[in-house]
């Protein structure tokens, strides 16, 4: 028999196969948890191909599961391995289950996808439920338009998992912005499990940046997030600078690591011809760029929105509208509250319209000038909620294990 010496463990699952949003949210939560709870270790399960590029605090680590990518037709394929997608998914599910079995968390947090990618977390949820491990589903403020989300969740048979497996649903936002389950037929028992935390405040890294590539003069930061779906935004901003050389601030465009190489070359060539535009592919010290910018132009993904609020920047949001309308919904609600301005891509990308919006951007109200109670209380509330579940484990005494016949039993 062995004891765990009272050191708590949290396991976080991030299904992300493409983009940076889920990984960055989970990393932010993990860092906040270990900062607050000094007897805690956090392990992140992620399919992100670039998770190893990020720095992690002490007592935070990750397990990289084989990556997959979603094709335009909605099907998935292996990201790097030349094997069948079903084999890839089977490996992912096995790694997730066996990691959870050995790590044996005191709290399991699943990000966004209640059953994981193609149901890959279901067996793990069932195993941990039998151990009385608290199970939490973390939802961003906006999931999708209800007319699109409802049939998706019905097809995936999500609601029974919310009823029978999950102990709590944490919504990383506020109802003033959106109810992520609006229009979804969920029972009252599930509604009672929902807790709105507020948005997740971002803090500047403690260590100073090295090799930060940023203009010395005031600049507008243009961010396409992960970049995989940011071509329209980048093209529109470049059109504005190409058509109007008198724009008052230079632009620094960060493409994101997942922008296609052909488009990268095209955009870099166009930017090189503009004296007041700088462009870079990816910047690990992104927070420092955001802090120095006089304004931000972005697509309005969850993490970018949290950073705009945290660093108190006037923002112009140009949301994508497919395959999900999440960014459009968030940007519209935020615009209505006065937290940002909004420019919707109608397919024409009128250069003059973007130039006008860029001129007006630095004159906008700062987010801090708009009073929204609890707006950035997310990390404090996540720590409070996690502490509640972790204290239950501590109050129940040390957890002892015996290995009998290859299976672990609580003693």
DSSP for 284-346, written as a single string: TTHHHHHHH-SEEEE---HHHHHHHHHTT--EEE----SS--HHHHHHHHHHHHTS-EE----
Q: Are residues 104 and 154 in the same domain?
A: yes
Residue 286 sits in a domain of what CATH number? 3.40.50.2000
pLDDT reading at 112 higher than 70: yes
Determine, yes or no, domain membership for 81: yes
Average pLDDT over residues 81-89: 82
**Residue 262 shares a structural domain with residue 306:** yes
Q: Determine the straight-line distance between the first and last CA of the chain, rounded to whole angstroms.
A: 9
Question: Which of 54, 55, 60 shows the shortest CA–CA distance to 37?
Answer: 60
All residues at 6 or more sequence positions from 404 whose CB lies less than 8 Å from its CB, including other chains = none
- Short-list 129, 130, 122, CA closest to 156: 122
Report yes or no on 231 lying in a domain: yes
Q: Residue 188: enclosing H or E segment and its boundaries?
A: helix 188-191
Residues 150 and 250 in one domain: no
Residue 208 maps to a domain: no
Q: Are residues 89 and 125 in the same domain?
A: yes
pLDDT of residue 47: 86
Residue 3: enclosing H or E segment and its boundaries?
strand 2-3
pLDDT number for residue 3 = 44
Residues 299 and 197 in one domain: no
**Inside any domain, residue 153:** yes
Instruction: Tell me the average pLDDT across 105-126.
Output: 96
Sign of CA dihedral 286, 291, 296, 301: positive
Let me know whether 382 and 324 are in one domain.
Answer: no
Note the pTM of the prediction, 2 decimals: 0.90
DSSP β-bridge partners for residue 402: 409
Report the pLDDT value the prediction gives residue 206, as an integer from 0 to 100.
Answer: 65
- 397 shares a domain with 292: no
Report whether 310 contacts 284 (CB < 8 A): no
pLDDT, position 200: 97
Residue 162: count other Cβ atoms within 10 Å of its Cβ. Answer: 22
Judgement on whether residues 121 and 248 belong to the same structural domain of the protein: no
Within 13 Å, how many C-alpha atoms sit on residue 49's CB side? Answer: 13
The span from the CA of 11 to the CA of 217, in Å, is 43
pLDDT at position 366: 97
Site of tokens 């765990």: 4
pLDDT at 2 over 60: no
Residues 37-68 have pLDDT tens digits of: 999 999 999 988 878 878 899 999 999 998 87
- pLDDT tens for residues 343-379? 999 889 999 999 999 999 999 999 999 999 999 999 9
pLDDT level of residue 18 (50, 70, 90 thresholds): low
Q: For residue range 250-306, what is the model confidence (pLDDT) as tens digits?
A: 999 999 888 888 999 999 999 999 999 999 887 767 888 999 999 999 999 999 999
Q: Which residue segment(s) compose the domain that 259 sits in?
A: 219-369
58-72, 192-206, 208-222: which has the highest mean pLDDT? 192-206
Q: How many domains does the chain have?
A: 2
pLDDT of residue 102: 97
Q: How confident is the model at residue 395 (pLDDT cuts 50, 70, 90)?
A: low
Mean confidence (pLDDT) of the chain: 88
Residue 210: predicted pLDDT? 53
Residue 213 lies in a domain: no
Q: What is the pLDDT of residue 212?
A: 60
Instruction: Please tell me whether residue 106 adopts helix, strand or coil conformation.
Output: coil
Question: What does the pLDDT read at residue 288?
Answer: 86
Residues 391 and 363 in one domain: no
Average confidence (pLDDT) over 310-331: 92
Quote the pLDDT of residue 73: 57
Q: Above 50 in pLDDT, residue 405?
A: no
**Where are the extended beta strands (E) located within 23-120?**
40-46, 60-64, 68-70, 76-78, 107-111
Q: Is residue 207 part of a domain?
A: no
Is pLDDT of 1 > 60?
Answer: no
pLDDT of residue 394: 62
DSSP code for 370:
S
395 and 322 part of one domain: no
Q: Cα–Cα distance between 224 and 252 in angstroms, integer?
A: 11
Residue 244 has pLDDT above 50, yes or no: yes
At 398, the pLDDT band (50, 70, 90 cuts) reads very low
Query: In this structure, is residue 238 part of a structural domain?
Result: yes
Q: How large is the average pLDDT for residues 332-339?
A: 96
Domain identity same for 53 and 174: yes
**Residue 88 domain-assigned (yes or no):** yes
Residues 276 and 171 in one domain: no
């Amino acid at each position: 028999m062995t004891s765990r010496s009272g050191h708590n463990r949290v396991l976080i699952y991030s299904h992300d196969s493409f983009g940076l949003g889920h990984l960055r949210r989970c990393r932010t939560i993990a860092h906040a948890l270990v900062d607050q709870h000094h007897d805690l270790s956090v392990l992140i399960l992620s399919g992100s191909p670039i998770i190893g590029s990020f720095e992690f605090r002490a007592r935070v680590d990750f397990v990289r599961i084989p990556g997959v990518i979603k094709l335009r037709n909605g099907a998935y394929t292996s990201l790097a391995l030349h094997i069948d997608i079903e084999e890839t998914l089977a490996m992912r599910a096995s790694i997730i289950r066996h990691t959870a079995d050995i790590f044996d968390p005191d709290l399991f947090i699943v990000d966004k996808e209640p059953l994981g990618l193609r149901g890959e977390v279901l067996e793990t949820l069932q195993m941990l439920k039998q151990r009385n491990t608290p199970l939490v589903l973390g939802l961003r403020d906006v999931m999708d338009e209800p007319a699109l989300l409802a049939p998706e969740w019905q097809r995936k048979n999500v609601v029974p998992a919310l009823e029978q497996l999950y102990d709590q649903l944490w919504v990383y936002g506020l109802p003033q912005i959106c109810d992520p389950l609006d229009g979804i037929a969920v029972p009252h028992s599930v509604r009672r499990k929902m807790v709105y935390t507020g948005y997740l405040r971002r803090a500047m890294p403690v260590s100073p940046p090295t090799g930060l590539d940023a203009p010395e003069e005031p600049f507008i930061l243009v961010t396409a997030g992960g970049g995989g779906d940011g071509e329209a935004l980048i093209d529109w901003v470049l059109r504005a600078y190409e058509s109007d050389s008198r724009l008052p601030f230079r632009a620094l465009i960060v493409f994101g690591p997942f922008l296609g190489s052909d488009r990268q070359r095209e955009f870099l060539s166009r930017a090189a011809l503009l004296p007041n535009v700088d462009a870079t592919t990816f910047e690990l010290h992104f927070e420092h760029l955001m802090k120095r910018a006089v304004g931000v132009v972005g697509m309005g993904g969850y993490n970018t929105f949290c950073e705009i609020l945290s660093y108190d920047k006037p923002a112009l949001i140009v949301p994508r509208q497919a395959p999900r309308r999440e960014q459009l919904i968030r940007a519209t609600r935020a615009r209505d509250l006065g937290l940002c301005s909004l420019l919707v891509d109608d397919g024409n990308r009128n250069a003059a319209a973007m130039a006008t919006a860029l001129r007006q951007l630095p004159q906008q109200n700062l987010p801090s000038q708009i009073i929204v109670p609890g707006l950035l209380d997310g990390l404090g509330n996540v720590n409070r909620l996690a502490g509640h579940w972790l204290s239950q484990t501590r109050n129940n005494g040390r957890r002892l294990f015996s290995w009998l016949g290859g299976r672990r039993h609580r003693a």
